[in-house]
Structure 1
C-alpha cells in the first residue's frame, strides 16, 4: 500500500522541475512567539510605536528568519519527509517585508541535481526558492543545497 506524505526522492528532483507550496498566513502570535523564543527583541519586532512613527515599514513586522523558517516548514511538509537527509549550504537574500496578516508561499525550481560521490543512495539537489506574499511580491530568495535519498545507488 502506498504511503502518502513521503517526500521527493533524488530522482524526482529533475533539473528545471518547478512547483509551489500551499500558503501560510503569518499571524501576530507567530511573530511574538518567534521573537521571544529566539531573543530577537529588536525594536523593529517589539515596539509598535517605533514602527508607526520612525520605520518605513508599517504593521507588525516578521523577522526574515521567521519567514525562512515558515518557508522551510512548507517545503518539508511537501517534499522532504523521509527523503531529506541534510541541509548543506545556501545563499539567502531578503527582498521585502512580511507583516502580520500576510500569506506566504514558496515557489521552487530545481537548478542543480547530481549524485553524491561519497554517499551511495544519495543525491545533491540545489533549488531556487522564491517566497512570495499574497500580492505576488517577492519577500525572500534562497538557494539551498540538500542531500536527498535516492531510490537506487546508481
Structure 2
C-alpha cells in the first residue's frame, strides 16, 4: 500500500494544478458564500453575487472535444507526424521540442479567473495592485498554469493514449503574466520509457515552459504522463 504523503512533497503541486486546470477548462465554479457578508471589499462582493452557474453552464462541451479558446492556437514549427487523435507512446521521442501558441490574456479574464479561484487583491483589485509590488494587476499562477494545461492538452498530449498523470516534479512562476501578454508553450520531451510492470503503456517525462512575447519564461514545470503503447 502506498504511504500517505505530506503537502510538502512537490508532486502535490501537480495535483493542485491539475484540479485548477480542470476547473478552468470545464467551468466548475466554487464561490464562497461567506463573501456575501457585510464589510467585504467590492471585488469580493462582486464575486459572491455572481451565480454559481448560468444558462451557458448547463450546456458543456464533451470532455473528448474541448471547446475553442478565445484565440485559435497552432503548432509554431515542427509538430508530431502522428495527429493528436492517433498518437501513442512510440510517437514521443526524447530530445524533441515543440512550440504551440499564441494566447493573449486580457485584464477582464485575469480578474474573472481570480475572483473564482484565487481572489487575492493583486489579481482582482486594480487599485490595490497598482500600488503593490507589481505596479498593476497580474494573473494568478493557477490561471497561468491553466493556460499551459490547455495548450498542452490541445496540442501535445494524446487524446487516445493518455491514461493519467502521477503529477509534476516541479512548478515555478519565474515572471508574472500581465494584461496584454501573449503566451506560447514550449515542450521538450526529456525521457520516454516503457513500463516494466505493464507492457501496454509507458511514461513520458517533459519540460513545459510558458513564454511571453519578450521570451520571458512565466511558467516552468516538469510533467509526467502515462501513455498507452500502440503495440503491447
Q: TM-score, normalized by length of structure 1?
A: 0.88
Instruction: Give the aligned CA root-mean-square deviation in angstroms.
Output: 1.7
| Residue matched to 2:104 | 25
Question: Structure 2: how far apart are the matches of 1:8 and 1:56?
Answer: 44
If you compute each CA radius of gyration, which structure gives the higher value, 1 or 2?
2
CA deviation string 1:110-147 (max 9, x = no partner): 11111122333211011011110011111111000110
Gaps of 5+ in 1: none
| Residue matched to 2:167 | 89
Q: Is the 8 A contact 2:185 2:211 kept in 1?
A: yes
Cα distance change of structure 1 residues 100 and 137 upon mapping to structure 2, 3 Å threshold: same
Report which structure shows greater RCO (CA 8 Å, sep ≥6).
Answer: 1
Structure 1 segments (4+ residues) deviating >4 Å: none
Q: Is the 8 A contact 1:8 1:79 kept in 2?
A: no
Number of residues of Structure 1 aligned to a counterpart in Structure 2: 149
Q: Is the 8 A contact 2:190 2:206 kept in 1?
A: yes
| Residue matched to 1:152 | 231
Aligned residue runs from structure 1 range 60-139, under 5 A: 60-80=137-157, 81-90=159-168, 91-139=170-218
Gaps of 5+ in 2: 1-81
Q: TM-score, normalized by length of structure 2?
A: 0.60
Look up the SS of the partner of 1:111 in the other structure: strand
Question: Structure 2: how far apart are the matches of 1:4 and 1:114?
Answer: 21
CA deviation string 1:2-23 (max 9, x = no partner): x954263211111101111121
Look up the SS of the partner of 1:87 in the other structure: strand
Look up the SS of the partner of 2:111 in the other structure: helix
